[in-house]
Structure 1
């Protein structure tokens, strides 16, 4: 029985669906008892009973919060002999430069729990998701063709969430992927302005990047409802790595046997997220 925490999230749901489609027994752990899952998938609430009969565990640091070590230990005690942790490429950075921690992510703790579990493990050190452009820019592009944002020269190697989910499934099933920290990125490093240019080409719209000062970008984020602490950490991350090409790895291609999807491919498959109202 493969247990998947965070089973209704962006990655967890895809992991559950792919495992089930391959005929694997899957238990989806979620706080939503009415969550719709593929036929044959068990749905369980968080807690010790979720790990009954576990053979492997996918641990999402946002789902288990500060209890990663305890949850992994429970899974191992219940029989799990393989742990795959969702982590992040910046997991070793000072927390002041990890804005996702302020959204509940506990990547460092999830990875540490997997490594210290005493059973074979894999850590997925994921880069920034391409889907984050939806969160950052979608509301602006639904009403106009300008994105008002900071740090246009900051670079990222956007990771397609579908690639991450496929790697997670392989890591849960393939014993050759053992005791490894996989650094997962997209295939190219793009500045935020270049990213918007590619998005505009895909949408066939003349999109404009209106560069804001760090203070104005921070204020705009808070005005859109983001916590001030999150905006502060994000601006700090941008400032620290501005003008620095983002490292690109071939770990996705090595695991999956094909190139990682580009940001342009992701955008072409998600145009509806940016359609004008």
Structure 2
């Protein structure tokens, strides 16, 4: 069996790749620039780009199953090539915003991809994670420089998930039967406010960190300056606002699918501590 991993250099994709290799699977990855790509030995690297549909048939030739990290607005070419290649199943990295009433433009983007996958006739599994723990790496430069974290909505409460847990669910869905037609809402195992995450980071790093509330407009401008579309920036901030003093529902699916509890925020922080030092 050959499994294709798209987005294999991303936070989730690289963990999907690593866990499939640990399981002894044959894995192919796509890259826009294979010559400059660095992947583990034994991984087949094929030049392909979701924004260039003509590159996709070769990447999918002989592939049985695929992990899809979609490029907004460009899923159609992949799905056409996957259908023509006789792909058995696709595991799609989507987002919890699809089913969140405050998901806005972010939810609409992912919902459109889900609808395209469903319409393709391929067997599918959707992964809908909430906030990623790895998103907190955006604080790393400030933590290294000053020990001060500035972020909006310090009392926003979520149940962030470790990217390794998202990958673990993806790998089970790729390798096992019984996940077809399922949409897994994925969270971590503990509700935490932004301020609480900063405190845990400080404990793990062994230093005192300070949280400062950031004005919403300043946070929006930072998103826009990092080339986030305005409608997505507004949707993200609306989600944060809706989380203030919230009691998030904890998903059972990491435990149900993998057979173990979700990794905690302190585990994630210890795993990524070098990024903050």
When normalised by structure 1's length, the TM-score is: 0.87
User: Bigger CA drift: 88-97 or 113-122?
Assistant: 88-97
1:58 aligns with 2:58: no
Q: How does 1:12-161 map to 2 (within 5 A)?
A: 12-34=13-35, 35-46=37-48, 47-62=56-71, 65-93=72-100, 97-98=104-105, 106-135=109-138, 137-161=139-163
Deviations 1:187-214 (A, max 9, x none): 0111111111111111121111111332
Indicate conservation of the 8 Å contact 1:86/1:111, yes or no.
Answer: no
Deviations 1:63-113 (A, max 9, x none): xx3121331231122021111100111124579745598xxxx53233223
Q: CA RMSD in A?
A: 2.3
Structure 2 segments unaligned to the other structure (5+ residues): 49-55
Divergent runs of 4+, >6 A: none
Indicate conservation of the 8 Å contact 2:160/2:187, yes or no.
Answer: yes
User: Bigger CA drift: 33-42 or 262-271?
Assistant: 33-42
User: Bigger CA drift: 117-126 or 162-171?
Assistant: 117-126
Aligned partners of 2:83, 2:5: CA distance in 1, in Å?
14
Aligned partners of 1:258, 1:143: CA distance in 2, in Å?
37
In the alignment, which residue of structure 2 is the partner of 1:3? 4
Aligned length: 267
Q: How does 1:133-212 map to 2 (within 5 A)?
A: 133-135=136-138, 137-212=139-214
Structure 1 segments unaligned to the other structure (5+ residues): none
When normalised by structure 2's length, the TM-score is: 0.87
In the alignment, which residue of structure 1 is the partner of 2:271? 269
Aligned partners of 2:11, 2:163: CA distance in 1, in Å?
7
Indicate conservation of the 8 Å contact 1:123/1:181, yes or no.
Answer: yes
Aligned partners of 1:163, 1:222: CA distance in 2, in Å?
26
Deviations 1:131-164 (A, max 9, x none): 10012x1111011121122111111111101111
Shift of 1:224: 6.9
Indicate conservation of the 8 Å contact 1:84/1:172, yes or no.
Answer: yes
Indicate conservation of the 8 Å contact 1:114/1:123, yes or no.
Answer: no
